[in-house]
Structure 1
Amino acid sequence: MNRDLKNRKAIEKGFSSYASTTLRHASRDFFKKLCMENDRFRPFDEADFQINVAFKFCESPFIILEQNIALLQAMNDLESSERELLHLKYFQDKTDEDIARVFGVTRQAITKSKKKLLFKLKKHYQSSIT
């Protein structure tokens, strides 16, 4: 009986979560569409005649490949602990406090190490590119 009640509550919780998410997305999409239509159907006397020119430069695949190689070379020059710090921070989305616990140091030490590491990577990366 108690198990049945727990199952029912879990189902209700899941359904209410699904329903609220669906309604939130539907309202977001509705208002987004409404704003787009309002921008498209503006009365002539309210229209401002500004020309916005945006240039989008496409990078050559060779430039992108060169940049990736430079980044890989910079990563290979790091110590294993520095690579682990980057992995924990940017691939596993760990906080500085979590990383500090893994390394057995303070959060401030991790923050300082991270800044030095990013500066080192940037310096190495830029010297490889130019």
Structure 2
Amino acid sequence: MAETTFPYETRLNVLYKPLEAFDVHAVPDADKFKWFNQTLCQVNGSVVRMAAIEGEYHWHKHDEDDEFFYVVDGKLLIDLEDRVVELGPGQGLVVPKTVVHRTRAPQRTTILMVENAGIIPTGN
């Protein structure tokens, strides 16, 4: 079975260690890609990821993991099967495991995600 490839730059390496301060707007290479995702740090069994995005992600779900989205700047649309949730700066949403969803950003948007360290970002 062939592995599906996606047009996203997804970096799962943990970029910052405990007690190392960082700026989500200064993550290396974030401005080089239309859809960029970088793991920033690990907190217990979870990771904090940032994404600098524009455009849309594919429809997917996570069978074992909830996913938390928090908008730093811009606007994030989260398509669900029955509605669209619009989030602006300072707003967040948890998408429970098994819920099919798609994220979209009509303009360049910076978000933070908190999720299990073992999650497959592109879905199951």
TM-score, normalised to structure 1's length?
A: 0.19
Q: Per chain length, whose mean CA-contact separation is higher, i.e. which structure has more relative contact order (CA < 8 Å, sep 6+)?
A: 2
Question: When you count helix as a share of all residues, which structure comes out higher?
Answer: 1
Question: When you count strand as a share of all residues, which structure comes out higher?
Answer: 2
TM-score, normalised to structure 2's length?
A: 0.20
